[in-house]
Structure 1
Amino acid sequence: MKEFAIKYFLIIIISGFCLSNSHAQSESLFADVRSALKAGSSKELSQYFHDNIELNIDGESGNYSNVHAEIYLKEFFKKHEPISFEYAHRGGSPQGLNYAIGNYVHSEGTYVVLIRAKEFNGKQKIYIIDFNEE
């Protein structure tokens, strides 16, 4: 019985560490993404993309390699230079799926941005990003 209790305790400790590590990665990812969006830097932002990413801008959606998504967003940022970007809400699941909703303000209006990330090979990566004009 004592051996079972020790194994159970170790499983709880290891699980807590893994969840804590995933949460810390998510915090870092979303802080860096906020900086990239504020700066309008597709290059900086694309560092956090999975190899393939779903990109949706005003209903125009497609699956892109991270390189093509960077080019697409570079054009978007040229047309809609950022004034500010702030998160309105962030959340996640115990399974490691994380999301953030923010407001991307540019000179002609605002886009609501939905970012979804999950763990790939031990690192949090963005796999979907949506820009919808308000």
Structure 2
Amino acid sequence: MHNLKRIIFFVGLLFSVAGLSANSFQEKIPNDIIISLETGNAKLLSGYFNQNVELVVLDNDNVYSKAQAQQIVNNFFNSFSPVPENAFSIIHDGGKADAKYVIGKLVTEKGNFRVYFLLKKNGDKDYIHQLRIEKQ
């Protein structure tokens, strides 16, 4: 009986720690990135772009400068406006301290898109190195 209590305690502890680490990871994703996707704000999003960004947005698939990437994403948001409420939701995220990825769903007025981005830390700031917005 004593061993059963220990096992239950350790299993509970394991789930608690796993829950805490998942929540703390999500907090490390800059909120402005989420807001920019929810509102279709390419300028805010581009503030997190690395100097060169691997970008896949509809027919655009290449490595672009920060300014070019902002223009492409802006054109996308002009054509596919996010719905007003809860337009972007995170489906999965992971990574490590200096590189994180997010997979999410973007709901627009003209359909749903799968969004993937890769963040890498440079100094104390996260930068988007890859961004994919693909039709679901």
* Same fold (TM > 0.5): yes
Q: How far apart in 2 are the matches of 1:50 and 1:59?
A: 21
What is the Cα deviation at residue 59 of structure 1?
Answer: 5.9
Map 1:92-107; keep pairs closer than 5 Å. 92-93=95-96, 96-107=98-109
Q: How far apart in 2 are the matches of 1:120 and 1:27?
A: 14
Question: Partner of 1:82: helix, strand, or coil?
Answer: coil
Q: TM-score, normalised by structure 2?
A: 0.74
Asked if 1:87 is matched to 2:83, the reply is no
Asked if 1:48 is matched to 2:48, the reply is yes
Q: Which runs of 5+ in 2 are unaligned?
A: 1-23
Could you tell me which residue of structure 2 aligns to residue 77 of structure 1?
77
Could you tell me which residue of structure 2 aligns to residue 133 of structure 1?
135
Q: TM-score, normalised by structure 1?
A: 0.75
Shift >3 Å, 4+ stretches:
none
State the number of aligned residues.
110
Q: Which runs of 5+ in 1 are unaligned?
A: 1-22
Q: How far apart in 1 are the matches of 2:100 and 2:54?
A: 15
Question: Partner of 1:69: helix, strand, or coil?
Answer: helix
Q: How far apart in 2 are the matches of 1:43 and 1:108?
A: 21
Could you tell me which residue of structure 2 aligns to residue 15 of structure 1?
none
- RMSD over aligned Cα atoms: 2.0
Q: Kindly, what percent of the aligned residue pairs are identical?
A: 28
